Amino acid sequence: MKKIGIYYHPSFSRKSYMTIGNRLRDFPEALEDLLKKPNVQMYECPRVSEALILKVHDAAMIPAVARDPFCSTAYESAGGVVAAMEALARGELDRAFCFIGAGGHHAGRRQFWGACCFNDVVLALTQVRENSSWQRFAIVDTDAHHGDGTRDLIKNDPEVLHLCFCGNNYQSPDGTKIDVDVYSLGWQPQVNSLYVEAVRRHLPLIPAFHPDLLVWYFGFDTHSDDYGSLGLTEPAFFEICDLMLFVSTECGIPLQVVLGGGSLPHLATALIPEIIQRLAAA
């Protein structure tokens, strides 16, 4: 039975960056049945340390984040992603789902935008590289928007595979940084199957890369009802989740799911518990 960790902080439901609609208003209550499972445990996100932030970001980011009202949960958001990856590296968990109140993938070394304040995933892999044998990471980003901050931070790192489903087509010379244009699929008939097939086609890159960990940056802003809409509906997200589970199992590595964009509470409640259920059941 796989050990599943859920990382959450109460501030994410009170002060989430998506204040219109308060997307996490139904949490953690929506997880009540899941938390009865013997292999599922919820942890409160700690604050990330400034010392770790300064290993990734320019010092000017700290006062800039402090001034931004959308970043009030930035320290706990990044801290939970770091804590989850550390627990995975220690073998205490097999899979993790990380809630966030402020995002990460638009935060680069010296700049941030889109309510992404500190780059949670890059902070986490920086910490884990120092404290474990893990060095190679695969990041699959299916948020609606390009993970430009993540790319800025890891563009010269050959031990990070960054596969981003966004509005670009690009491949770095070494083949470790890849953008896939899924905007061209938006609102077409059968957009769910077209998008999922685009993800499926690129999955062989992951086992060929031999990562120590697979990170899925999961945003539901691509949903037909949300602000980054490509016309997707709920089944697409569950199929992508199953693909992430399949490839992580094939590689024999842990899976970490990090919540990305999305603003609507009914979508959060419809999608997140089912995704965690799949993490716990597979």
Contact 56, 109 (CB under 8 A): yes
Distance CA 154, CA 133 (A): 19
Asked if 104 contacts 81 with a C-beta cutoff of 8 angstroms, the reply is yes
User: What span, in angstroms and rounded, lies between the C-alpha atoms of 248 and 250?
Assistant: 5
- What string of H, E and C letters represents the secondary structure of the chain? CCCEEEEECCHHHHCCCCCCCCCCCCCCHHHCCHHHCCCEEEEECCCCCHHHHHHHCCCCHHHHHHHCHHHCCHHHHHHHHHHHHHHHHCCCCCEEEECCCCECCCCCCCCCCCCECCCHHHHHHHHHHHHCCCCCEEEEECCCCCCHHHHHHHCCCCCEEEEEEECCCEECCCCCEEEEECHHHCCCCCHHHHHHHHHHHHCCHHHHHCCCEEEEEECCCCECCCCCCCCECHHHHHHHHHHHHHHHHHHCCCEEEEECCCCCHHHHHHHHHHHHHHHHHC
* pLDDT mean values, one per 10 residues, the chain (282 residues): 96 66 89 98 98 98 95 96 98 98 96 96 98 98 97 98 97 98 96 98 98 98 95 98 98 98 95 98 84
Which CATH class, in words, describes the domain spanning 4-281?
Answer: alpha beta
**Phi, psi (degrees; rounded to nearest 5) at 29:** -55, -35
pTM over 0.95? The answer is: yes
pLDDT of residue 21: 45
Of 162, 166, 143, nearest to 152 by C-alpha is 162
